[in-house]
A and B are shown apart, each in its own frame.
Chain A
Amino acid sequence: MSDRDQALLDEAVKDIARLKKQRSSQLYLVWLRFKKNRLALVGFIMVCIVLFVAAFAPLLTPYDPYETDPFNRLKAPSRDHWLGTDELGRDVLTRLLYGTRIALLIGVLIVLFEGTIGISLGIFSGFFGGVIDSIVMRLVDVLRSFPVIILAMAIAGIMGQGIMNVIIAMGIVGWTTYARMVRSKILSIKESDYVEAARSIGESKASIILRYILPNTLPTAIVMVCIMMPTALIASSTLSFLGVGVQPPTADWGSMISAGRDYLLDAPWISTSAGLAIMFTVLGFNFIGDGLRDALDPTIKRA
């Protein structure tokens, strides 16, 4: 190898290193932008608290969320039971803490399920256009004509109660938002110069999708997932409240609100505390979602 070749090789290695550095500094830029948004940081901390509680629920409380105590029914908040007890004498705080697990599990699964359907249909629809696009978009039109919660309730009601059916029902109904957002993002990427350039040097369709379109839809997908998490949390608790979702005795916030409703006068702490738990979690995700949207992809309008 001549000196000149060696020099060229060194140059190339340096270039690659610089490119790698640039990529990581772009992530750093996103983090800087995210950090600047104080509410987003607050949301981040709130969600971290929720995650912590979900992970360590059994260590945070001496009680069992399912153990009933007939002699201590509907007891007001006290030193032993910080948030009182419910109609079966179970510790409300304990049920709230364990409830974070159910809420996050259902929320994440709903978002994953509807996100997978919506994002892949959006990519197909946006990239191939034509008949596929028309069919998907008409399907979106049809599903968006139904209020999400109503159609999900009807579907979950028919399939029978239970966590799995809530997730399936929400997935069938909720994917349209993802599909629309991802599709419009892809349409704009398709028009961009770098895709035009790739096409003109004869790159295959598959390679264009994998190398240019998918990586550039990623920020949109991430933001969508964060923005849709609150919707999933509220929808699933609403389904539990209406009686088609998670069933008692599962420690679920929605069903706690529903059960506490019958004892509102004697034991208002059951419904109120469970509602506050939902609000805290949803608020946290909403703050993060807004912050991420501004940091990653400001072109997305709020769903």
Chain B
Amino acid sequence: MAGRKRSFWIRRIVRTLVTAFGVSLVAFLILHLTPGDPAKIMLGPYASEAAYEAIRERYHLNEPLPLQYLYWISGVFRGDLGDSIRYNRPVLELIKDRIGPTLALMGSALFISITLGIFLGIVAAIKRNTPIDYFATFQAVFWLSIPPFWLGILFLYIFGLQLRWVPIGGMVGFTSLIFPALTIGLRDEAWFARPMRAEMLEVLNQDYIKAVKAKGLKYSSVIVKHALRNALIPMITMIALRLPWVIGGSVVVEVVFSWGGLGSFLVSSVLARDYPVVQAILLLIAMLVVVANLVADLLYSVIDPRIRKES
């Protein structure tokens, strides 16, 4: 048993390392996707020859590609993510300034989506095939059909411009966090409500639930103590799998609400062709997802030992 457990962990970690390597390759190759001189792509066509040469020197653009990658990735390990072309400052510093607001926004959005999604999923499963269930299903499709940036604009229009409850974008206190977080959270809740309903229904069909019911346990404690606990376990993986979508949504919503985080910074950097910044943020986001997936899988295998036997 112990051997099997260890081999599962080792295989999972090796797979993660391979994925991490691939992720770094993609982030690196982004700049080399289009034919043409990367120095010209970064600085635009009208810079001086000396400036081009300086850029080539700084990022070793005259070396062959594999060597360029090695220079870049060894820089990453030393904490050198290059310099922003727009700001002429180390990328790492710029990211440090902006990561706080993004984490605050994503944290609140995740909190909203997970609690709401799990709650609606449970209610839908318990009240299966009733109007409540249909409503829960319908509202999930409804939120998933709304472009997140448009929902943000609607919130801004109604609660910022018309009712003047909250500031129109920017980051001024707690009130400005509410609607960006709601915009992401309401949509992403739909990702969690459905699988939660399915898990809950599956668990409720198990023999041990019938057994505790037959034992005469109170219905609420059947749900909470026995069903919910087991239905929640697969949600760990679900949340990790959905993380990229949550991050993707928050990038767009940051732009709508002029939220000074990594997302709006990434978008403005793409538009300004500030590639060292784009590469660094892409790498950071993808690594976060890779690590989250690893943690979720390992956590899952600790909580639910059946998974190790199957794989």
Contact = CB atoms under 8 A, between A and B. Distances in A.
Contact of B251 (A138, A149, A237, A261): A149
B19 A142 contact: yes
A144 B244 contact: yes
Given A230-B144, A243-B271, A286-B141, A257 B149 contact: yes
A27 interface: no
A158 B290 contact: no
A146 B153 contact: no
Contacts of B282: 146, 150-151, 154
B60 interface: no
Contacts of A242: 252, 255, 267, 270
B157 A278 contact: no
Interface string B1-41: 00000000000000100110011011000110110000001
B265 to A, nearest CB: 12
B201 to A, nearest CB: 13
A203 to B, nearest CB: 31
Contacts of B266: 150, 153
B248 A145 contact: no
Interface stretch (A28-36, A115-123, A186-194, A263-271): A263-271
Interface string A124-156: 000000000000001101111111111101110
A148 B251 CA distance: 11
Interface residues of A, number: 48
B270 A238 contact: no
A157 B273 contact: yes
A39 B141 CA distance: 11
A283 B247 contact: no
B146 A279 contact: yes
Given A142-B23, A286-B144, 19 more contacts: A138-B19, A144-B289, A145-B289, A146-B289, A147-B244, A149-B252, A150-B247, A150-B285, A153-B270, A234-B148, A241-B147, A257-B153, A271-B153, A275-B146, A275-B154, A279-B145, A279-B146, A283-B145, A290-B141
Interface in A234-269: 234, 237-238, 241-244, 254, 257, 261, 264-265, 268
A286 B150 CA distance: 18
B153 A154 contact: no
B245 interface: yes
Nearest to A144: B244
B142 interface: yes
Nearest to A138: B18
B296 interface: no
B288 to A, nearest CB: 9
Interface string B254-280: 011000000000110011010000100
Contacts of B287: 145
A257 B153 CA distance: 9
Nearest to A159: B34
B161 interface: yes
A275 B157 CA distance: 13
A110 B138 CA distance: 26
